[in-house]
Amino acid sequence: RTSTTRTYRGEMLTYYYNSRYRAKPLCYHCVESKFRVRLCVKCYFLILYNMGNKSSVMLDEQDIKALQADTGFSGSQIERLYSRFTSLDKGGSGSLSREDFLRIPELAINPLGDRIVHAFFKEGTDDRVNFKDFVTVLAHFRPIKRSQENKLNGRDEKLRFAFKMYDLDDDDAISRDELLAVLHMMVGENISEDQLNSIAERTILEADKDNDQMISFREFCTALDRTDVEQKMSIKFLK
Amino acid sequence: MMATLWTFLCWVHICLVVFHFLIASFGRKLGLRKRYIDLLLELFQFSQQRVDKSKKIRHSISLDDSDIVEEAQKLSFSQPKYLGVSHEDRTGFELGDILDYVTSGVSAIVEDSVLTNFVPKQPPGWNLLTRTNTREYEFISFRLTALWMVGFFIRYFILLPSRLFVLIIGMAFLFVCNIVVGMLPDGPTKRKVNARISIFCFDFVAGSLSLFATFHNPENKPQSGITVANHTSPIDSMILSTDNVYDMVGQLHGGILGYFMTLMSHSSAHIWFERNNDKERSDVTRRLKEHTSDPELPPILIFPEGVCVNNTSVVRFKKGAFEIGCVIYPVAIRFDPRFGDAYWWQDAFFFYILYMMTSWAIVCDVWYLPPVTRGPDETSIEFAKRVKSTIAEQGGMCDVSIDGLLKIKPPKADLKSMYQLEFAKHCSTPKKPQSHSVSQPTVPNFNLIDLRMETISDNNDHLVASNKNSLECSNYLKTDCNLLDLQPGETLCDDVESKPNSSSANPLTCSDEVNDCLEVRSSSFGGLDGDQQVRKRVISSVEELGASCINELNYSKVDDGFINKIRDVVEDQELLHLHDNVERKLSENEVKETGGTFHSNSRIMEAGSLHRDAGGLGVSISGKEIEESDSVLQSNAAVPFTSETEDKRKESSEPDSNDRVKETDQVLK
């Protein structure tokens, strides 16, 4: 339902009684109140344009600039990621669920698929990822550039991501059980239990320096000192 | 005044509709369709210029990132392997081994090779349709908006009604013509008449979508045999039928469409079948062969991809059509996405038709390629690949070798377990110390042998894989015990720790099997310790076997085949002898029911011991020893037993152990 009025400034404004747009004002010119969103002219046409479009997430320039500043992606990279996001978002709800991720065949056959998907979901929120979180997590895998400041994709942040793969309960330490669980994910049924136990014990023994039977983040970093993390954990993002 | 204006507008509207009707239905001959297309192209160029202008303002040129990063490894669907590099001096599991898997997963999220084929592709410019507006999420200019609104009005209020009108009349035509032609007696005249009428009718109906197809190389037009083409939309067959008459193959739908299908089969020899009826499916091959052996009959149209692809690439062809053995006429179809996207990517038929009818037009190019036949040494799969690459090349599409079924169904679970297997292989190679190297080739790692990947991917035959695996396991076990010829107490390599020290964490130097084997040799056969070792050995080897056969267990019951495999493992002569020993001992003592103290994999043995029907390998063992060995082996692997074996186990808890022991002896022998 819509109704139009003219404001004192002569602009034509439209009221939309539609809860779909209540979630976020479309641009900084639009005004949101409790039951309606008063759209500015540009956004009005934007909605009209996008009526054929299933997705209800619309990016505007401020969003893109904010994302660029936060993540370091360029504008066209963000556009590309956005179209990828919408193509994964089957329901057009503007957010992704775990099933949407696991619909990607190459992720479904990856032994660590579930852990990777889990990394996108912040605890405490409901089970959906919005575009901002999507891009923020992916920003960890941007290649490191000497010329730029690398807020999200420095070596430490990349290692932190890898650490989170092991750390199932987010307590900042990898216990033996957690390591065992990840090993289970990686090898499936193909190694017997006691062998896995011994592998886990050995790994912890080698990495644990302060003898608390857990691997902390610092110990993890030291263990991966010789690995070329910058190369291994970087992805080419096409423009 | 208002009334006259209103009636005037109505008349204008109706005239436009009728005009468009005439263009659409008969316009091909008159060349009017082409003019329409050209006009649209100019319009699009104009809109694109506007968009580009505003885009330049918006996006500042970013610094060129010379990306020196390599491509992340993609998980292949046909050849699972271990991602990552093994270093020469350190093998076995390390914390950093998962990094490659993580990166591969995340790069699959960013862009993967399967979904890109099945996602509708955006046309390069904006064609004044909102549905292609995903990138233009900003208001550009008033002029463009005005143009868009005019376009909206034309498409929805002038084009759509007239197209619907054309569709209705066209379908009626088709209906009537098929009835008429069906009444003719079979023969060459019928075929000729059918050809001309069907081409005309399909052309008429195609006008309802404003179809504009250019057919190249008409000298290669198929006259008989099988025609294969790439598949993008359900209207592909209709497009091809506007130029040449084909016989279709497909499944019978219900309802009106099904009625049409039966009607069409009166006038020409189409091949319809019921998909659910398996017998009919094998019948189809026979009918195809019959049909193609008659050179008078029109060619058969087959889409070997099986699913609709988004017209940027051609996915793997199914080999069915290429096995018939007749001449194949490849046809390449390429749509122009600027005018309207015909790709079928969602199951909503109504919206699909609506979108197509409110697009500007459907424009495509069709190339007839010269006929090909299968070479003398070529398998049908290679032949299919060859044809696919010619089609892809002609149409300017990528030649991709993924399976089309991935659009609909998730990938098989085996692939994940094969990747797990590869990783397990990497983990299980022991940490070689820097200095000492073992001279014998039998470096003790338990070798889960390379499964033949192509048999897996082609036949999905778990049995093949696990059979090989079991043989290898048994061979390995024979090898290390019998051939190593060690004295009791001698170790194989420096890293084997004798039992008392093994509690210190230096695991995975040599595998436990070897340890056990040596223990067995060195210990006396009389005491309970030896028995325990033997039992442990049997159990662990069964576990490994069970572990690698786990997939098979998913799909088959614990039956004779499985017993044979276990027998292979246990057929180590010495082991059998010891096993008999154990049996004898146990039969003397009191044997209690085990009742679930073993976990998972060893339940194979448990279940077998308890009833004939499950037919597994049985070792009835007393409770105390179970607990001891239980603490050593705790396997969390879940063996998915059918519920009936569980029920039977609970039912038949007769402590008739002696009989059972004898029974298992018989099973073993």
Distance in angstroms (rounded) separating the CA atoms of residues B568 and B300 = 51
Check whether B492 has a pLDDT greater than 50: no
Higher-pLDDT residue of B67, B470: B67
What average pLDDT score do residues A154-180 get? 88
The reported pLDDT for the residue numbered A29 is: 55
The reported pLDDT for the residue numbered B228 is: 94
The reported pLDDT for the residue numbered B300 is: 92
Q: Measured between CB atoms, which of B62, B69, B108 is closest to A143?
A: B69
What average pLDDT score do residues B538-547 get? 50
Q: What percent of chain A has pLDDT over 90?
A: 1
B217-226, B267-276, B618-627: least confident range: B618-627
**CA nearest A27 in B: which residue?**
B138
Residue B69 · residue A235 · CB < 8 Å: yes
Q: Helix, strand, or coil here: B273?
A: strand
Tokens found for residue B44: 């699009």
Cβ of A52 within 8 Å of Cβ of B428? The answer is: no
The reported pLDDT for the residue numbered B261 is: 85
Strands B313-314 and B211-216: unpaired
Q: Which DSSP string corresponds to B427-442?
A: HHS----SS----SS-
**CB-facing half-sphere around the CA of B304: CA atoms within 13 A:** 29
Residue B664 · residue B618 · CB < 8 Å: yes
- Contact residues on chain A for B95, CB-CB shorter than 8 A: 166, 203, 207, 215, 220, 223-224
Check whether B618 has a pLDDT greater than 50: no
Q: What percent of chain B has pLDDT over 70?
A: 54
Cβ of A52 within 8 Å of Cβ of B145? The answer is: no
What average pLDDT score do residues A145-160 get? 81
Check whether A129 has a pLDDT greater than 60: yes
**Into which CATH architecture does domain A37-140 fall?**
Orthogonal Bundle (1.10)
Domain ranges of chain A: 37-140
Question: By the CB < 8 Å criterion, does A108 face chain B?
Answer: yes
Check whether B369 has a pLDDT greater than 90: yes
- Contact residues on chain B for A53, CB-CB shorter than 8 A: 130-131, 133-134
Check whether B389 has a pLDDT greater than 60: yes
- Contact residues on chain B for A129, CB-CB shorter than 8 A: none
The reported pLDDT for the residue numbered B324 is: 85
Check whether B330 has a pLDDT greater than 90: yes
Check whether B486 has a pLDDT greater than 70: no
Q: How do residues B127-154 score in pLDDT, each as one tens digit?
A: 666 666 554 445 566 777 777 788 888 8
Confidence at B393, pLDDT banded by 50, 70, 90 = very high
Number of Cβ pairs closer than 8 Å across A and B? 256
What ipTM describes this predicted complex?
Answer: 0.80
The reported pLDDT for the residue numbered A59 is: 63
The reported pLDDT for the residue numbered A41 is: 61
What average pLDDT score do residues B550-556 get? 41
What average pLDDT score do residues B120-125 get? 73
What average pLDDT score do residues A80-102 get? 82
Distance in angstroms (rounded) separating the CA atoms of residues B644 and B92 = 41
Check whether B623 has a pLDDT greater than 60: no
The reported pLDDT for the residue numbered B11 is: 81
- Contact residues on chain B for A52, CB-CB shorter than 8 A: 129-131, 133
**Residues ≥6 apart with Cβ < 8 Å to B594:** B606, B609, B620, B621, B623, B626
Q: How do residues B29-44 score in pLDDT, each as one tens digit?
A: 566 777 777 888 887 7
Interface test with B, best of A131, A191, A199, A231 (most B CBs within 10 A): A191
Residue B534 · residue B520 · CB < 8 Å: yes
Confidence at B230, pLDDT banded by 50, 70, 90 = very high
Q: Measured between CB atoms, which of A188, A232, A237 is closest to B99?
A: A232
Q: How do residues A199-226 score in pLDDT, each as one tens digit?
A: 888 888 888 888 888 888 888 888 888 8
Higher-pLDDT residue of B525, A203: A203
A119-125 contacts, C-beta under 8 A, 24 or more apart: A119/A161, A119/A164, A119/A165, A120/A96, A123/A170
Check whether B481 has a pLDDT greater than 60: no
Residue B362 · residue B212 · CB < 8 Å: yes
The pTM assigned to this predicted structure is 0.63
Question: By the CB < 8 Å criterion, does A30 face chain B?
Answer: no
